[in-house]
Structure 1
């Protein structure tokens, strides 16, 4: 498994996956930077960091997962390399498991970058306008905890997108699913039933009602891990269409 994972990491280094991993949190940081420069009075750290986390959860995370899973799958679908890979003398599940771990690792990396780049954007903006230095305490543990919870709650969404992207040789089904899921998550952000929608589960980590947080985290994390395991098992047994 480690050797397969090592190969997948090297493939990512030659793809656009790492660029995507930098671009998504970078866009949030860029928005925060210019938004800070428009302010007339200093704002609390919470306003900048929690808003950045919300932007990540409601839109950038679902769209990035859609693009990331499609990109990782296309590395094999594009050159029609699955036949050669699946003929290797090793468990097929290790091939798909390694790809799943790479996707999860990239999403985790982006979560860390969201916090780091947002802090950097605010700090850079303050260098230009010192009078806008954020008030209050920079609660790093709180912001990191929110992002970690969003990652866990997003496991179900990641598993569904991964399963679809790997199952079909065409990238259209995975992109259509991800775009549609993100659209309904955004337009129905305040819907009570949204807590049961995989694409909306991460943003529920910012909800004020504890039941929403616990429900989204339990379903997104627990069910997501189960679905991911089932996806790997299913893909290992079937041919790619």
Structure 2
């Protein structure tokens, strides 16, 4: 039942611009660093002469949390909007499929899409480093950690975004919350490490990476279960 719901959701997002969004995030970050290195190539290569890959990852990682918060919000809104725009929730839930399967499929779809975007960011970083002429072998595992550690730590935002976008027909509030989180996230780094907005950055750049990832995964799971319970009990329009 879950597999059928997930397959149906994959079909629904065709032509909705979601795949473009998935590519836009990592391509935008890589393009930004391409310009950064292009205009300051000699300075950047001299500054990070001892560890050019580490320098590239440091520069890319600064913008990963912002991109994740925006991406999670917009992807969830677009996925939920397929039903909201056509007022198809009643028809969907009248089918021989449980609400749990419907909600879980949308959560799985959004997670897979964002994971694909993170993978593209790692691949793009490798390509950019090779184009820039880095001599050393790309640190593949560290490049993957740069993308996926913040993603795991940001799972609470993904779960919250899906919950709000699925249960609220008006997407203004969920999108506003996600955009606000993205905009203020760079300015709360001096606050407590236990502020969830700080977890994605600390998951890669902090000393307690595993702890931040675990906290993100557990809180994300708790919010996802809460959203599922609410969705199961909510009347649909």
TM-score higher than 0.5 here? yes
Alignment of 1:115-194 (within 5 A): 115-124=122-131, 126=132, 133-134=133-134, 136-191=136-191, 193=192
* Residue of structure 2 aligned with 1:50, choices 52, 58, 61: 58
User: What SS does the aligned partner of 1:166 have?
Assistant: helix
Taking the aligned partners of 1:215 and 1:140, their CA distance within structure 2 comes to 22
User: What SS does the aligned partner of 2:220 have?
Assistant: helix
Deviation at 1:175, TM superposition (A): 0.9
Taking the aligned partners of 1:175 and 1:199, their CA distance within structure 2 comes to 16
Deviation at 1:148, TM superposition (A): 2.4
* Residue of structure 2 aligned with 1:227, choices 198, 223, 237: 223
* Residue of structure 2 aligned with 1:40, choices 42, 61, 77: 42
Kept in 2, the 8 Å contact 1:153–1:218? The answer is yes
Taking the aligned partners of 2:127 and 2:159, their CA distance within structure 1 comes to 31
Structure 1: runs of 5 or more not aligned: 127-132
Taking the aligned partners of 1:142 and 1:115, their CA distance within structure 2 comes to 9
Structure-2 residue corresponding to 1:130: none
Deviation at 1:120, TM superposition (A): 2.0
Taking the aligned partners of 1:176 and 1:167, their CA distance within structure 2 comes to 15
Taking the aligned partners of 1:214 and 1:123, their CA distance within structure 2 comes to 29
What do the CA deviations read for 1:194-237 (whole angstroms, capped 9, x no partner)? x3333331111133433xx3442222111211221221232122
Residue-pair matches, total: 229
Deviation at 1:143, TM superposition (A): 1.8
Q: Tell me the TM-score normalised to structure 2 length.
A: 0.89
State which drifts further: 88-97 or 42-51: 42-51
Q: Tell me the TM-score normalised to structure 1 length.
A: 0.88
The alignment yields a C-alpha RMSD, in angstroms, of 1.8
Structure-1 residue corresponding to 2:4: 3
Q: Sort the Cα spacing of 1:207 and 1:33 in 2 relative to 1 into closer, same or farther, 3 A.
A: closer
* Residue of structure 2 aligned with 1:202, choices 197, 200, 203: 200
Structure-1 residue corresponding to 2:106: 99
* Residue of structure 2 aligned with 1:238, choices 224, 229, 234: 234
Q: Sort the Cα spacing of 1:64 and 1:171 in 2 relative to 1 into closer, same or farther, 3 A.
A: same
